[in-house]
Amino acid sequence: MIRKLLRKVFRRAATPINTEPALIPATQHGIRREQLSSAARKVCMTLQEHGHKAFVVGGAVRDLLIGHPPKDYDVATSATPEEVRALFRRSRIIGRRFKIVHVMSGPETIEVSTFRANQAAEDAVTDEHGRVLHDNVYGSQAEDATRRDFTVNALYYDPGNEQIIDYHHGVADLQQKTLRMIGDPRTRYREDPVRMLRAVRLGAKLGLTLDPAASHPIREMAVLLENVPAARLFDEMLKLLFSGYAVRCLKQLREEGLHHGLLPLLDVILEQPLGERFVWLSLENTDDRVRADKSVSPGFLFATLLWHEVLANWEARRKNGEHNQPALFSAMDEVLDRQAGKLAITKRIVGDIKEIWALQPRFEKCSGKAPFRLIEQPRYRAAWDFLRLRAQSGEIDSALPEWWDRFAHAGHDAREQLLADVPNVGAETPERKRRRRRRKPAEAATATEAS
């Protein structure tokens, strides 16, 4: 009853549906079908041969237009999920928020979704904040275009005739480097608050400026993110952190006012009293790796984000007389218990984080058999990368990662030599570091700046 009344009071006009798209030929937009992955092309052509409409849509078209290699391909079609499933042997229906079909072709997976209507209209099932809860209602292609978030994401490419079908002037917006919301931004953020995060991420990644109409409401509407399930926020934060533009995204999030309390992960990153330098270095390092197409792992990144909390906890325990190694393990558990639930970090990632941390004190032992065993560890490389970041941030002396690098790459005789010539730094605990700072403040500061 109250909900009905509220809905009446806040009744909004649905986003107008444009049924007359611009048809842009390849001579104008320049994308040839050969530029698509063969799987995306094949999926579209098979669907079309069976009388359905089928287009590459969304991020891939947008990325091809600005000359980024697409990360993956989405296909939109008039066929129902069951019809799609029947056409491709290696396919399966996935039904999370709505039914889509994953079509596997060679090493690729193409995500195929049936044209869907936006349910921003009165009959949508929304919660009391206006968030859409169920949106599994099929619609026309024009409706499908309108339910998408940004104009540059509502472009359909037909590999048959190489035309782009553009319902919302997305091509023009892309040329003008503008990220523009389809419909009224406030309504669209209310339907799905995650669009605020997408706006920041896509703007940063694509070098587009968020249209002021879409950026103004963010500050006041940010609070709606509290109603989004933690797992979905975590997924979105992962996309952001591994977009190759994490540093830019995070600074932008801070500027847009998407901070404190809304995104627990962001608080960990932006409000690090202890390891700020380490965290930003790690994010820069992740950005470089993503852009160079090198592998990145969430475990490694989260291990860096939480490391200084572990260090502080570890040190406090040692001061209380706990032994080095057990103190570290207790510190790890305590920090992870506190953070993992809040951040919705999955169990698998927690396992990776622990492995990297647990290997850190073992780098202090540069004699006897221990170094031989350590370099044989499957996670040695990740743990060493972590050690090097610690040195780069000034937490420990860089002689330590350098020694290990030489040891790992040396032949038998050179290894014996290195074992006899152990670096005199050891792993520098925060305690040791403070003592060193007290001894030589000027020198220590310079070393930090320079690293």
Residue nearest to ligand ATP as judged by C-beta position: 59
| Closest to ligand ATP by CB, 149 or 162 | 149
Output the smallest distance, CB 221 to ligand ATP, in A.
14
Residue of 63, 123, 135, 149 marked active site: 149
| Closest to Mg ion by CB, 76 or 281 | 76
Q: Could you tell which of Mg ion, ligand ATP, none binds residue 192, using a CB distance below 5 to 8 A set by kind? A: ligand ATP
Q: Could you tell which of ligand ATP, Mg ion, none binds residue 194, using a CB distance below 5 to 8 A set by kind? A: ligand ATP
**Binding residues for Mg ion restricted to 34-73, rule: CB under 5 A:** 59
Is residue 72 part of the annotated active site? The answer reads: yes
Q: Could you tell which of ligand ATP, Mg ion, none binds residue 299, using a CB distance below 5 to 8 A set by kind? A: none
Residue of 74, 166, 173, 192 marked active site: 74
Output the smallest distance, CB 11 to ligand ATP, in A.
21
| Closest to ligand ATP by CB, 69 or 441 | 69
Residue 243 interacts with Mg ion (CB under 5 A): yes or no: no
- Crossing angle, helix 399-409 and helix 380-392, to 10 degrees? 150
| Closest to ligand ATP by CB, 15 or 339 | 15
Output the smallest distance, CB 68 to ligand ATP, in A.
8
* Binding residues for ligand ATP (CB under 6 A): 58-59, 71, 74, 148-149, 153-154, 192, 194-195, 198, 239
Picking from 368, 296, 367, 356, the residue whose alpha carbon sits closest to that of residue 332 is 356
Output the smallest distance, CB 294 to Mg ion, in A.
21
Output the smallest distance, CB 119 to Mg ion, in A.
22
Question: What are the structure tokens assigned to 32, written together?
Answer: 């040839």
Output the smallest distance, CB 238 to ligand ATP, in A.
11
Residue of 63, 72, 333, 385 marked active site: 72
Residue nearest to Mg ion as judged by C-beta position: 59
Terminal Cα distance for the chain, rounded? 63
Residues belonging to the active site: 72, 74, 149
Question: Binding residues for Mg ion, per CB under 5 A?
Answer: 59
